[in-house]
Chain A
Amino acid sequence: MTSPPELHVGIDLVQVERVSESVALHGERFLRRIFTNDEVAYAMSSPPQTLHRLAARFAAKEAVRKLLQVDEHGVGWRDVEVRRLPSGACEVVLHGHAAILARARLLGRMALSMSHDGDYATAVVVTWSGTEEMHG
């Protein structure tokens, strides 16, 4: 017997200034632990928007971590990647244990929406369980 599809959602809000402080305080170590090389490269490709892009991606990673409910087995931030498509839309790509968790919970492809304005960046991720094969 299969379980009925269930909706899952994760959200996070980040103050851009906090990301700025982390970069100033921890520098390369912060970037290397949290973001993939492609995420950093994209954020840095437009210096005026670098911190907002990093903050939005951090919010997306936290939104996915909340959705995955990483209570028992941890998930690294780099295992949740925000990939920008040629269309300009962004998608979530899971690696490592994040992908394993998503498959085990029969989570479908995740829909991601990010936004930033002034001091804040936010992200929301939504998916169904038990409806389609998970990516990763």
Chain B
Amino acid sequence: MGENQGAQLAQTIRQLLAEHGRLTRDPITLPAEADLYHLGLTSHASVNVMLALEGAFDIEFPDYMLTRGMFASIDALGSAVGTLLAG
């Protein structure tokens, strides 16, 4: 994935986190490695984020990827989406 694509991916993730994540801080300006659980991401909000990501990128996260770590940060979500887009 190119640098531009990566930045665009991260931007989309930030936007979807803003819409569905219910975080205590604005995801648009959040460091990519910030712990989303510490910022209020609940189990239910993570499902909404997941479904929104699947819709936005036309992907489906397989069960084995659905770990707590996958939702832990913007970086982690970007890595998971990138893996599926590359696959």
Contacts and interface: CB of A to CB of B under 8 A. Distances in A.
Interface residues of B, number: 18
Given A79-B63, A96-B63, A70 B47 contact: no
B18 interface: no
A74 interface: yes
A22 B66 contact: no
Interface in A102-133: none
Interface in A8-38: 12, 14-15, 18-19, 21-22, 25-26, 29-30, 33-34
Report whether over half of chain B's contact residues are helix, strand or loop; otherwise say mixed. Answer: helix
A76 B44 contact: no
Contact of B68 (A15, A29, A71): A71
A25 B43 contact: no
B70 interface: yes
A62 interface: yes
A74 B47 contact: no
